[in-house]
Amino acid sequence: MTATNKLVFGLDTFGDVPDDPANDLPVSYSVALKQIIKEAKLADDIGIDVIALGEHHRPKYAISSPDTMLAAIATITKNIKLSTGVTVLSSDDPVRVYERFATLDNISDGRAQIMLGRGSFTESFPLFGYNLENYDALFEEKMALFNKLRDGGAVNWSGKFTQTLEKQKIYPKISGHKLDTYVGVGGTPDSIIRAAYYGFPVILAIIGGAPEKFKPYVDLYQRAAAQFNQPQHTLGMHSHGVIADTDDEAYNIAWKYLRRSMDRIGSDRGWVPMDKKRFDFEVKKGSYYVGTPEHVAHKIADKMTKVGVKRFDFIYGAGGQYAFQREKSIELYGTKVVPLVKDLIKSGEYSYE
């Protein structure tokens, strides 16, 4: 996806297991996975551009194999791009990853998209036999191999952490285009420069703080892409949110569930539990998009413009939200927020403080 004036709007889910309204206990993994497939069908029906599924290997999340889920979704959707958010390439085999997404691309008539990343958690490393001491080196080497695989020809390769390949052809082939590939970046200059070097567009994971602080990363990417003689790709951002019929309803859902999710993540990383002051900052000026469709649309238009991106992915359903709450956010996002954001950015007549 090269530089364009077209705006792109996606949905991301990390695969959070919803609670059951009958008892406030998590539903089964079977129910959770089928709910995500239902949500993807809804997103396709209302014209959302992309659905991106996270990869996690921990109890509160149902998706450990996003490509399997995307294959299921491919069979019941027509237009929506089928992406990940992210595929943890460091703890996987790049050849197998490429084969799986080449298969998905073929069965979905070219709708596959992969977002490569190192992941927000590290449990996949010991789970699949990798040493965290090699955290950066694994990603660098595997991204280089993956980049070669995208060319579609016979591959010659030798590395420290990966297999040796001699004139090896990879199947199935993708006809007419390369596999649509992004890199998910949490906000480190090295990651931005690496993505630009390989010519991969970036999705900025903005899950806390003022989004406009990420504008220097967009500028850095464009400078690096020019220096490496790579295309000036469209960049994007993704952030959490809740959309409801009233601001109070959205706020209450987010306070209960989104805050719970972030505190759970924070407990692994030594973060202080979120208090109301911090939460209110994120809702008002930070990276949470919470409120009515009109409120959220104005904020998205404002922050996309300030950060300098053309793609926005809305992370929905965090922390065990009920299925009907998740579906409501999706419906309002696709039918009301996205059209309004497009109009606001086109006209420049948006207001958000």
Q: Quickly list DSSP for 72-113.
A: HHHTT-SS-EEEES-EEGGGS-HHHHHHHHHHHHHHTTS-BE
What's the CATH code, domain 8-347?
A: 3.20.20.30
* Cα–Cα distances in angstroms (integers) from residue 189 to residues 44, 63, 204, in the given order: 34, 29, 12
10 Å CB burial of residue 37 (0-12, 13-18, 19+) is: middle
For residue 96, which of 22, 167, 162, 151 has the smallest C-alpha distance? 162
pLDDT of the residue at 269 = 81
Q: Where are the domains of the chain?
A: 8-347
Q: Say what percent of the chain tops pLDDT 70.
A: 98
pLDDT at 2 over 50: no
Residue 117 bridge partners (DSSP)? 88
pLDDT at 234 over 50: yes
Question: What is the average pLDDT across 70-84?
Answer: 98
Give the pairing of strands 202-205 and 8-13: unpaired
- CA gap 222, 307 in Å, rounded: 13
Answer yes or no: are the C-beta atoms of 288 and 254 closer than 8 Å: yes
Question: What is the average pLDDT across 175-192?
Answer: 96
Q: Phi and psi of 198, rounded to 5°?
A: -85, -5
| Range scoring the smallest mean pLDDT among 100-104, 135-139, 270-274 | 270-274
Averaged pLDDT of the chain: 96
pLDDT of the residue at 352 = 81
Count of alpha carbons within 13 Å of 146, Cβ hemisphere only? Answer: 33
- CA gap 80, 144 in Å, rounded: 28
pLDDT at 344 over 60: yes
Answer yes or no: are the C-beta atoms of 253 and 244 closer than 8 Å: yes
Secondary structure of 323-334 in HEC code, one letter for each residue: HHHHHHHHHHHH
Q: What is the pLDDT of residues 117-159, one digit of tens each?
A: 998 799 999 999 999 999 999 999 999 999 999 999 999 999 9
pLDDT of the residue at 57 = 96
| Range scoring the smallest mean pLDDT among 1-15, 31-45, 216-230, 254-268 | 1-15
Q: What is the pLDDT of residues 4-60, one digit of tens each?
A: 579 999 999 999 999 999 999 999 999 999 999 999 999 999 999 999 999 999 999
CA dihedral 180, 119, 3, 78 (to 10 degrees): 40
Confidence of residue 70 (pLDDT cuts 50, 70, 90): very high
Residue 202 bridge partners (DSSP)? 183
Question: What is the average pLDDT across 194-207?
Answer: 97
- CA gap 110, 47 in Å, rounded: 17
pLDDT of the residue at 4 = 57
